[in-house]
Amino acid sequence: MRYWSVLFALVSVLVIATFVYAPFDDDWWLPSYRATNAQSIATLEDIQIQAPESATALVALRDLDGPAAPEQLETVDQTRAWLDRQSARLDQAIQSNFLTTRSRALESQVARTRDSVVEARNLLGTSEGPEAIDQVVAELGRLETMAGETLASVVEPGGSLRATVSTAAGQIDHLYILLLVITGITFIGVAVALVLILWKFRAQPGRRAHYSHGSLRLEIIWTVIPAAILVFIALYQLRAWADIKIQSTWPDVRPLAEVTARQFQWKIRYPGPDGRFGTDDDLHTVNDLHFVKDEPTIIHLKSEDVIHSFFLPQMRIKQDAVPGMTIPVLFDARKAGRYELLCAELCGWGHYKMRSQVTVHESQDEFNEWMAQSLREQELSDPTASPASADVANASGLRVE
């Protein structure tokens, strides 16, 4: 029995060490993210490396005097085939909800670059050949830049989980550490007591078992102490709960967006230049949430199908999305950058890929610029959309409060 007691003690020490260490491991979720999206990340890395190499190879064909030789045409055809492969790989990334908006933008850029390559191939050796090659090189440069920016948003998703990125993060972390200390001390105390009892009352020759009916005093003690701890925790967390969940304590700001969860993506709708939801100039995105640093942000959370959970890890915000309900959620960020929005509720077979890109802009002007550009791109991609004409043209002056 003594050996089992020692083994139990060693296992307890290992469990305690893991229990204490894991929450403080920087970016513990990032390796899982990279492993899940390894193929999509490899696509971005390939584009970033191969695009400038292809541009260099094509520049050599810029000033051809006369028809292109077969080997020169082969260089162009290889670039075209490479672009076809990247388009197919990006389509797979979109199907797996990998940064959907950015992946679609990349796919569109690949298509434009491919069209330029086809046109340049037809014009090689003519007076228009140099201009066509210059156009391909420019498109490849834009493709490389977009891939690099998207890759950076994955590799650097906003910093360590230990950083207090939002106002709520400090309060939540404080409560978490308090609970960790209370439960840790309890766990260690119980484990040590169990090991000591196993050791002290182990079977020995000549020792007879002793029966005890119990102790009322001990039962009262181990009932009153946990109850007192629970009452203390309930009262101690009231301020944090009020600041994060009670709407009467929130700042008076207009909702930034409507976020609708569905299997398996986040649909986001921003009010357009008129500042109202449900009108023709609304901006619609998928898996792409934007807001401004140091500004209190409110979104209206909905669900189209089952229960989901809106979770911003670095900002320590989590709220269930319940079908049939519209739930306001308040959050902010003290640091500009790119973060992640995850679903923290098992919502079906595709739960693992239900994530969204979150961009925190440095200033309101930067957010307005993104908003205006996104509205223009939305109009171009949807010919049936009602034009916002002057409103869209002036969208850089839009301020969502």
List pLDDT tens digits, range 198-250: 888 777 788 787 777 878 888 999 899 999 999 999 999 988 888 888 888 88
What is the rounded average pLDDT of the residues 13-27? 59
37 pLDDT more than 90: no
62 pLDDT more than 90: no
DSSP 323-375: TT--EEEEE--SS-EEEEEEE-S--STTGGG-EEEEEEESSHHHHHHHHHHHH
Q: What percent of the chain is modeled with pLDDT above 70?
A: 83
Side-by-side strand order, sheet with 288-292: 288-292, 355-361, 337-343, 308-312, 317-321
What is the rounded average pLDDT of the residues 260-270? 93
Q: Which residues contact 149 (CB under 8 A, 6 or more apart)?
A: none
What is the rounded average pLDDT of the residues 26-34? 51
318 pLDDT more than 80: yes
Contact indicator for 347, 341 with CB cutoff of 8 Å: no
* pLDDT band for position 26 (cuts 50, 70, 90): very low
Residues 250 and 261: their CA atoms lie apart, in Å, by: 24
User: Which range is most confident: 35-49, 147-161, 275-289?
Assistant: 275-289
Side-by-side strand order, sheet with 297-303: 283-286, 265-270, 257-262, 297-303, 327-331
Q: What H or E segment, with its residue span, contains residue 52?
A: helix 38-59
**b/e sequence 4-37, b meaning 16+ C-beta within 10 Å:** ebeeebeebeeeeeeeeeeeeeebeebeebeeeb
Q: What H or E segment, with its residue span, contains residue 376?
A: helix 364-381
Contact indicator for 400, 254 with CB cutoff of 8 Å: yes
250-397, what's its fold?
Immunoglobulin-like (2.60.40)
pLDDT at position 159 is: 45
* pLDDT band for position 32 (cuts 50, 70, 90): low
Residue (of 381, 374, 312, 350) closest to 95 by Cα position: 350
Question: What pTM does this model have?
Answer: 0.59
User: For tokens 């260089």, what's the residue?
Assistant: 75
What is the rounded average pLDDT of the residues 36-57? 87
Residue (of 272, 294, 267) closest to 282 by Cα position: 272
Contact indicator for 87, 114 with CB cutoff of 8 Å: yes
* pLDDT band for position 390 (cuts 50, 70, 90): very low
386 pLDDT more than 50: no
23 pLDDT more than 70: no
List pLDDT tens digits, range 110-169: 999 999 989 888 888 777 878 888 898 999 999 999 988 888 766 554 444 455 688 888
30-155, what's its fold?
Four Helix Bundle (Hemerythrin (Met), subunit A) (1.20.120)
In the chain, which residues fall in CATH 1.20.120?
Answer: 30-155
In the chain, which residues fall in CATH 2.60.40.420?
Answer: 250-397
